[in-house]
Amino acid sequence: MIDKLIEKIKKLNAPIVVGLDPNLSFIPELIQKKAFAEYGETPEGAAEAIWQFNRGIVDAVCDLIPAVKPQIAMYEQFGIPGLEAFGKTVDYCRSKDLVVIGDIKRGDIGSTSEAYARGHLGPVKIGSGSFYGFREDAVTLNPYMGSDSVKPFIDMARKTDKGVFILVKTSNPSSGEFQDQKLSDGRTLFELAAGKVSEWGADCIGSSGYSNVGAVVGATYPEQAALVRKLMPKSYILVPGYGAQGATAEDILPNFNDDGLGAIVNSSRGIIAAYTKEKYARFGAENYADASREAVIDMIKDITSALERAGGR
């Protein structure tokens, strides 16, 4: 997974991932009306609107970006129809040769963790056959329950050449309530998590020199990012918090290594709801996907320019 992701980042000069987190309020009225006319104002209608909205965005930006990150909660809220829309979105993105990072933040143990891993990263046996569930290339994980919750995913990723991104220092304002707390040895909890990510990924390093075991580190905490970057030199970092959450291109720089690699920056509503912003309002709701394309181009320019100014990182 990681080698493909890095190859695409280099080819496109685009260290970004588009978060497909489709709140219904983001979806233009004309798409909702069409879906509701066919399926009613039901979970099925909402799921159809989400799917059509996603497809429009993917078609508009797939030649510019290496990866997408659908957040499963935005689909789960609509029950089984929503999960079907999630599966269709994943499959469609894969058909466009995009790396798909399933933002699922699972963190259970034992057979439950193994079942999640099979459902999202690997095949599940049914009788004499093996079948895939959601078919993502990588997933996000919460390590709070320890190795028992993470290892089943890493083991499955190793077998199927897929990846995981483990929460280390997240971008939300209250992350410090746990993650910044000091341990008896003076380290913070996020430093401990970063060390474990490096340890867990030591035998999952690809030809690129980076591991299939990566981390999630928020752009809103650049000083902490600089610290964990040193603790995880071989781990790719998924960086939320850029744009809508207030982080700038300069804020994300500490997540990169000196080679200009090592991080991929997420933007969700800043891209998929771009047409609602004043800067892109000229496109209108009917051309929402074109607005998303323009926002992607602007994001790539912003981040690559910041990297160039920093001398590669």
36: burial class by Cβ within 10 Å (0-12, 13-18, 19+)? middle
196 is catalytic: no
Neighbour tally for 39: CB within 10 Å:
16
- Choose, from 88, 96, 105, 151, the residue flagged as catalytic: 105
Number of Cβ atoms within 10 Å of the Cβ of 81: 19
d(CA 54, CA 91): 12
Query: Among residues 119, 98, 97, 117, which one has the least CA distance to residue 108?
Result: 117
Measured between alpha carbons, how far is 195 from 107 in angstroms, rounded to an integer? 18
The residues assigned a catalytic role are 105
